[in-house]
Chains A and B, each alone.
Chain A
Amino acid sequence: DSGVTQTPKHLITATGQRVTLRCSPRSGDLSVYWYQQSLDQGLQFLIQYYNGEERAKGNILERFSAQQFPDLHSELNLSSLELGDSALYFCASSAHLDRKDSPLHFGNGTRLTVT
């Protein structure tokens, strides 16, 4: 168990809808990362937060947004959903900011299916 908790585990919704994915990092970790895993693109970095502030952006669509709250949990909001957004969404956390020997610990993901 990585200590990173993601809810829900599964989510099925229709095109055009909006969903929110939730992540609770490991106790004490201040950095939270969101990744998308799809069959054609593999694991792709979306966005990083540290102690409530956005720190880095990857291949995140404008229809997607995220935030980190004072209690350090994070939410990823996906709107105007398209079929191609169907994927596994992972949250990861780490203890430090910009320390490359501080490995990322991943949750078990939310499987999003857009119909």
Chain B
Amino acid sequence: GESVGLHLPTLSVQEGDNSIINCAYSNSASDYFIWYKQESGKGPQFIIDIRSNMDKRQGQRVTVLLNKTVKHLSLQIAATQPGDSAVYFCAENLYGGSQGNLIFGKGTKLSVKP
């Protein structure tokens, strides 16, 4: 079946640099997308979300971009810090689907070098 995927399984960046984590989704019926951060030994933590009627949404040090034409989602983290080291998941929610029925990608591990 269709599922969310990720371009890069691992990403290593220098502290202070900007990070970009990419995600490809294949279901054009998805209308809501979320990025989660999962630290070792913890559950996924909500970072930012975006609806399909938006192209960009900004939070604190994070920006999510949505390109529906190519079904691509990205998470940008500004001035990456060691505390940002974690696995990042994108997730999609189908239009009309239960809000909790999220389809998660495989995850990208972000490693921040001091």
Contacts and interface: CB of A to CB of B under 8 A. Distances in A.
Interface of A: 2, 4, 31, 33, 42-45, 48, 55-56, 58, 90, 92, 94, 96-109
B42 A108 contact: yes
B22 interface: no
Contacts of B97: 56
Interface stretch (B13-21, B59-67, B68-76, B100-108): B100-108
Contacts of A55: 98, 100
Contacts of B99: 31, 94, 96-100, 102, 104
A100 B107 contact: no
Nearest to A107: B43
Contacts of B36: 106
B112 interface: no
Interface of B: 31-32, 34, 36, 41-46, 49, 51, 89, 91, 93, 97-107
A47 to B, nearest CB: 9
A3 B30 CA distance: 28
Contact of B46 (A33, A97, A104): A104
Contacts of A109: 42-43
B44 A33 contact: no
Contact of B44 (A43, A94, A96, A102): A43
Contact of B49 (A97, A101, A105): A101
Contacts of A100: 31-32, 49, 51, 93, 99
A105 B104 CA distance: 15
A91 B18 CA distance: 32
A108 B41 contact: yes
A94 B99 CA distance: 9
A15 B99 CA distance: 33
Contact of B101 (A48, A90, A94): A48
